A = this chain, B = another copy of it.
Amino acid sequence: MQRKIRLHRSEPISSSATHPANHFVRVVKRVRKGIVSIITEEKPRNLEEHILSMLIPGWSSSTSDPPPRHFGTGFVIHPDGYLVTNEHVIRDADKIAVKLDGYTRFLPAQRVWSDEERDLAVIKVQPPHPLKPLRLGSAETVEVGEWVIAVGNPMGLNHTVTVGVISGKNRPLQVANRYYGNVIQTDAAINPGNSGGPLINILGEVIGINTLIIYPSQSIGFAIPIDDIKPWIRKYMS
């Protein structure tokens, strides 16, 4: 049986991305070079076992398993390689590695500053070229209902872009032994590896740091306002 199917071929350059409703395409292009993927390797839990496993060939124990790895996100605040992320992303990390946009190789990163109470940290890489910092906006002037874009590394899916709106602002939030006094709530999809990544307004400015989700729930995520970290960056850096 011979059949002919007429396949409608699209133009080589699609006009869908340039449709006037597609505001986020330009924003993503502008910011993605300023966002990095983080992978951490946990400290072996039992140091004694770890030493034995290195000294005695064939030593077999639970520590001979590869140490657990975790994903996180960060963003550039200085061309020399300074990156902001959540403190909880690097807390238990023995090694921190960072992947820049467009690179396949990971760079080692060092802790520069961290504040457990505020869940904020600065790490540093030795970049192959000056990095482009993200523009910092302010969460104070953000309005409920406005579009926001989250970029992150959920499950290691680097530079994952999700879109939603501001669901609420100035929320107090108590999680375990931490108190977040004033967070932004969004319905943009946030998953574990998004932690430390930027929440971005439609102008491409960072307004928050994606930090928490309520699980299980439908699209209830929280970001620390960027305003909270500005004085700490200044204080540390200058």
Instruction: Report whether B149 and A163 are in contact in the complex, using a CB–CB cutoff of 8 Å.
Output: no
Interface of A, helix, strand, loop or mixed by DSSP: loop
Q: Are B155 and A165 in contact (CB under 8 A)?
A: no
Cβ distance A238 to chain B, nearest Cβ, rounded Å: 6
A22 touches B143 (CB 8 A): yes
* Residues of A in contact with B, size category: 35 or more
Cβ-defined contact, B168 with A157, below 8 A: yes
Chain B residue with Cβ nearest A135: B8
Answer whether residue A136 sits at the interface, using C-beta atoms and an 8 A cutoff. Answer: yes
Contact B163 A191 (CB under 8 A): no
Interface residues of A (CB under 8 A from B): 2-17, 19, 21-29, 32, 77-78, 80, 82, 133, 135-138, 141-147, 149, 154-155, 157-168, 171, 185, 187-191, 201-203, 205, 207, 213-214, 216-221, 230, 233-234, 237-238
